[in-house]
């Protein structure tokens, strides 16, 4: 439901986005007479910002069918609450409507979840480590490196990555295995956590790492 509302809003704003882009060029193009109007640069910047906020960014197709973990400890999570009284003060109204155990959006995708193998937890905050048994599970399994995947980059991925770093794990975030509703916060947060806390890599790097791990542990 959240994405349907988001896409509807984006479709309604699409004409305004294109109008803002065209008008911004009128105030910024060197051959346009409007370039010399007082405050023209501010007009152009404001219109360009509106266009960037409302434009549709390309999203990758993951096409995930199955995931083979080759004996690697896996922890998966969802975020769900019994009712609104149990929730923290989420600022997004749609979250308060969908993050309930009774809502289908809180169900785990069976293509990426093996109930017979994975540790599954229901978290109450952005990070998978917050008030869950995941850190204890990783200690038992002698984990020293954590690979963080999922969404949203600016929320749960960032929160989990920071906690993983704070718990002294080497942390990998494959940039083609995480995502956000908008491209700009996705890129900004990857750049920031990559500078400070984690190794931002790609899927190929993680697959090579896991294969190397499997070879070492099969001897």
Give me the helix-helix angle, 2-28 and 40-54, nearest 10°: 150
Grouping H, G, I as helix, E, B as strand and the rest as coil, residue 7 is helix
End-to-end CA distance of the chain: give it in Å, rounded.
Answer: 48
CA distances from 143 to 75, 163, 174, 181, 194 (A): 12, 15, 18, 31, 21
177 belongs to the catalytic site: no
Which residue is listed with tokens 């080759």?
A: 70
CA angle 103, 109, 114 (to 5 degrees): 125
Alpha-carbon distances, residue 52 vs 23, 88, 113, 188 (angstroms): 13, 31, 36, 14
Catalytic residue (choose from 77, 151, 156, 177)? 156
**Contact of 134 with 103, CB cutoff 8 Å:** no
Active site amino acids: 156
């Amino acid at each position: 439901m959240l994405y349907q509302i988001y896409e509807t809003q984006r479709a309604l704003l699409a004409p305004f986005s294109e109008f803002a882009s065209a008008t911004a060029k009128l105030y910024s193009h060197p051959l346009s007479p409007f370039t010399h109007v007082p405050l023209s640069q501010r007009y152009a910047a404001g219109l360009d910002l509106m266009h960037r906020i409302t434009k549709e960014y390309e999203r990758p197709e993951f096409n995930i069918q199955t995931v083979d973990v080759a004996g690697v400890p896996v922890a998966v999570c969802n975020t769900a609450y019994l009712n609104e009284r149990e929730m923290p003060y989420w600022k997004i109204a749609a979250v308060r409507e969908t993050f309930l155990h009774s809502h289908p959006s809180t169900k785990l995708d069976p293509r990426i979840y093996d109930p017979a193998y994975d540790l599954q937890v229901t978290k109450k905050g952005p990070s998978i480590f917050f008030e869950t048994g995941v850190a204890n599970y990783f200690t038992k399994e002698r984990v020293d490196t954590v690979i963080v995947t999922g969404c949203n980059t600016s929320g749960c991925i960032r929160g989990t990555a920071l906690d993983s770093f704070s718990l002294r794990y080497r942390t990998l975030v494959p940039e083609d295995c995480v995502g956000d509703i908008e491209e700009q916060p996705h890129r900004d947060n990857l750049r920031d956590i990559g500078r400070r806390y984690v190794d931002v890599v790609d899927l190929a790097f993680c697959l090579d790492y896991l294969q190397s791990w499997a070879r070492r542990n099969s001897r």
